């Protein structure tokens, strides 16, 4: 179970849903909540070098800090009226994603709950995304809460009843299971283990689905997922398996989640950065950007060795599946 949950807040009001989700999960897991706000560096432009301007700048920074602390403490007090969980509030200064990642390491945070502002297109490229950067800089699971209602008609995010977990046979992808099962228990949610099979050639998408290549891969995927599902059931969580066909894995995952009205998609990622990310992309990144549901993303520190206890059939199934994260 989760014990220390961090909720980044920026005072904009867009973090309301994430806070409500964090409070609910914290109560059910008997966890503590840490509200964290970061005053980003480089926020003051046009600063002259004279002593007078330095004094004005220092006063401005001090004033902004006091205002941010007041807002943060007021938010913590309001949260305490809604929940019996222990809540603390801290203000940091520096590069936002860097400071959040460092705070998480220092305070043994085991879950970060953050709202997605939903930037797209040029704005997203120009401004970047704290959530994206944070996912790549931390090995702590990040629960990205996506509001389902408009800004003018806010609505609290309901419990996560239906959780979709895409797997591809890799040890890295499977590491999400140890993070999502405790959440499923707390929320009393069902889990669907999903395997997306990409056709070997583009024209095969429209073919009759019992072509030889399809039949073999479906059997391997179902054997693999059945083994993983049995492990989860032994932990007291209801689980089913699904195998679907899709030329674009990320789109297939998000389309499936949308059709099945999933509340949450849980996925592991390599957390690629820079040019590698541009050239190779990431299924997890594509899902995080396009999914309408909330996302639990986990960037493991290291990918474990492929140790398999399920026998030769499971080992063969793994070899025939392709890593997507």
Which of 93-102, 225-234, 308-317 shows the lowest per-residue confidence on average (mean pLDDT)?
A: 308-317
pTM for this predicted structure: 0.81
Do 203 and 124 share a structural domain? no
Q: Which residue has the higher pLDDT, 201 or 105?
A: 105
Do 118 and 62 share a structural domain? yes
Q: Which residue has the higher pLDDT, 116 or 32?
A: 32
Q: What is the CATH number of the domain that holds 207?
A: 3.40.50.620
Number of other CB atoms surrounding residue 19 within 10 Å = 23
Would residue 173 count as lying in a domain?
A: yes
Would residue 123 count as lying in a domain?
A: yes
Split into its structural domains, the chain has a count of: 2
Q: Is the pLDDT of residue 206 over 60?
A: no
Of the three residues 110, 145, 180, the one that is the final residue of a domain is 145
Q: Which residue has the higher pLDDT, 264 or 115?
A: 264
Do 283 and 202 share a structural domain? yes
Do 167 and 109 share a structural domain? no
Q: Is the pLDDT of residue 157 over 50?
A: yes
Write out the residue range of the structural domain in which residue 136 sits: 4-145
Would residue 156 count as lying in a domain?
A: no
- 226-248 pLDDT, tens digit each: 999 999 999 999 999 999 988 88
Report the pLDDT value the prediction gives residue 165, as an integer from 0 to 100: 97
- 292-305 pLDDT, tens digit each: 899 999 988 765 55
Q: What average pLDDT does range 178-184 have in this prediction?
A: 95
Do 228 and 81 share a structural domain? no
- 6-22 pLDDT, tens digit each: 999 988 777 888 999 99
Mean pLDDT score of the chain, rounded to an integer? 80
């Amino acid at each position: 179970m989760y014990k220390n949950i961090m909720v980044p807040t920026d005072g904009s009001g867009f973090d309301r849903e994430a806070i409500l989700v964090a409070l609910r999960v914290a109560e059910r897991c008997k966890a503590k909540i840490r509200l964290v706000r970061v005053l980003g560096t480089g926020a003051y432009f046009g600063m002259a070098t004279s002593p007078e301007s330095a004094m004005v700048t220092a006063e401005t920074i001090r004033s902004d800090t006091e205002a941010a602390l007041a807002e943060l403490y007021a938010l913590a007090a309001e949260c305490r009226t809604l929940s019996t969980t222990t809540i603390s509030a801290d203000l940091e200064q520096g590069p936002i994603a860097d400071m959040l990642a460092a705070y998480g390491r220092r305070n043994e945070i085991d879950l970060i709950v953050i709202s997605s502002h939903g930037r797209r297109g040029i704005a997203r490229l120009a401004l970047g995304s704290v959530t994206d950067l944070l996912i790549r800089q931390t090995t702590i699971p990040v629960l990205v809460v996506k509001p389902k209602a408009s800004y003018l008609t806010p609505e609290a995010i309901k419990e996560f009843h239906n959780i979709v977990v895409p797997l591809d046979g890799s040890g890295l992808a499977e590491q999400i299971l140890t993070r999502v099962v405790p959440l499923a228990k707390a929320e009393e949610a069902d889990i669907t283990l999903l395997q997306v099979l990409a056709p070997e050639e583009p024209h095969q998408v429209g073919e009759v689905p019992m072509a030889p290549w399809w039949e073999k891969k479906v059997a391997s995927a179902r054997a693999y997922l059945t083994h993983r599902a049995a492990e989860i059931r032994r932990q007291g969580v209801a689980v089913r398996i699904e195998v679907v066909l899709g030329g674009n894995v990320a789109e297939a995952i998000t389309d499936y989640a949308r059709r099945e009205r999933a509340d949450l998609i849980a996925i592991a990622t390599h957390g690629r950065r820079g040019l590698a990310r541009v050239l190779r992309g990431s299924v997890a990144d594509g899902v995080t950007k396009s999914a309408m549901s909330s996302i639990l993303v986990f960037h493991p520190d290291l990918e474990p060795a492929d140790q398999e206890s399920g026998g030769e059939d499971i080992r063969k199934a793994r070899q025939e599946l392709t890593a997507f994260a």
